[in-house]
Amino acid sequence: MSDAILAELTDPTTLRVGVNMGNMLLVTGERANGDPDGVSPDMSGEIAKRLGLKVEYKCYPMPGDVADALAEDAWDICLIAAEPKRAETISFCKHYTEIEATYIVPEDSPFQKPEDVDRPGVRIAVANRAAYDLYLTRSLQHATLERATGLAGAVELYKAGGCDALAGLVPAFKKNIQELPGNRVLPGRFTAVTQSIGTKPANVNLKQFCEDFIAESIANGFVQSLIDKHGVTGRLMVATYD
């Protein structure tokens, strides 16, 4: 193991991992010892194993909370979506999975595809500081965003009326649509949320190690094996690059 990586860690015996508990595809349960279980905990656990370190999971309810915690030196690596706003303070590797995002709209809505939603006067319910909220914030030209805490909060905001569309992840919408009679999911996507590993900008050696690990894990099928292991096959996709 590189001494340079050890020197970058706050505790040279332990890899501290910032985990977003709000993503039901990447964190699917809890282990017997209370640690989170799922694709992202397994990815970070394998990194710690290869470095010969203990792993300590720092769990946060939302991805924005994970990003904020860097200011307190709370973690060495984090597993959240790579977004330009977050990249102002976090150094992200290439992503290892992708999740499509789209809208739910009323059955009688004139919108037929995601790009139709960006019109003047349209209000979109969205989970505050989710990766797709950040994407829409910088991408929408006409529609406005109405924010709530988490997807559950956004669903309730949409159900309360006043919003023309609900933004969210396609896999979650397969369940949400059952709770929203009289609504439909728009086919296609307005973006693909890319899940990545981030480090402190100064930790260049740790980042390179994670970068190499991700490339290897995609190529040898390890990422796909975790997707299959945790029952999210067909909902969480292995990253692809053009």
Per-residue CA distances from 69 to 59, 90, 163, 218 (Å): 10, 11, 32, 28
Residue range 26-63, pLDDT digits in tens: 999 999 999 999 999 999 999 999 999 999 999 999 99
CATH level 3 topology of 3-97+194-238: D-Maltodextrin-Binding Protein; domain 2 (3.40.190)
Alpha carbon distance 183, 161 (integer Å): 12
Question: Across the chain, what does the average pLDDT equal?
Answer: 94
- State the CB neighbour count (10 A cutoff) for residue 80: 28
Residue range 189-217, pLDDT digits in tens: 999 888 999 999 999 999 999 999 999 99
pLDDT of 101 above 80: yes
Once rounded to an integer, what is the mean pLDDT over residues 72-92? Answer: 94
Per-residue CA distances from 224 to 42, 97, 195, 212, 221 (Å): 12, 9, 14, 17, 5
All CATH 3.40.190.10 domain ranges in the chain, comma separated: 3-97+194-238, 99-191
Alpha carbon distance 139, 176 (integer Å): 25
Alpha carbon distance 25, 227 (integer Å): 9
- Please state, for a pLDDT cut of 70, what percent of the chain lies above it: 99
**Which tokens hold the place of 22?**
């709000």
Indicate the CATH number of 99-191 among 3.40.190.10, 3.40.640.10, 3.40.1160.10, 3.40.1110.10: 3.40.190.10
Enumerate residues 6+ apart whose C-beta is below 8 A from 234. none
Alpha carbon distance 162, 44 (integer Å): 41
> With bands split at pLDDT 50, 70 and 90, how would you rate the model's confidence at 242?
low
Alpha carbon distance 210, 43 (integer Å): 10
Task: Indicate the pTM of the whole model.
Answer: 0.80
Query: Looking at residue 131, what is its pLDDT?
Result: 87
Altogether, the residues listed in the chain come to a count of 242
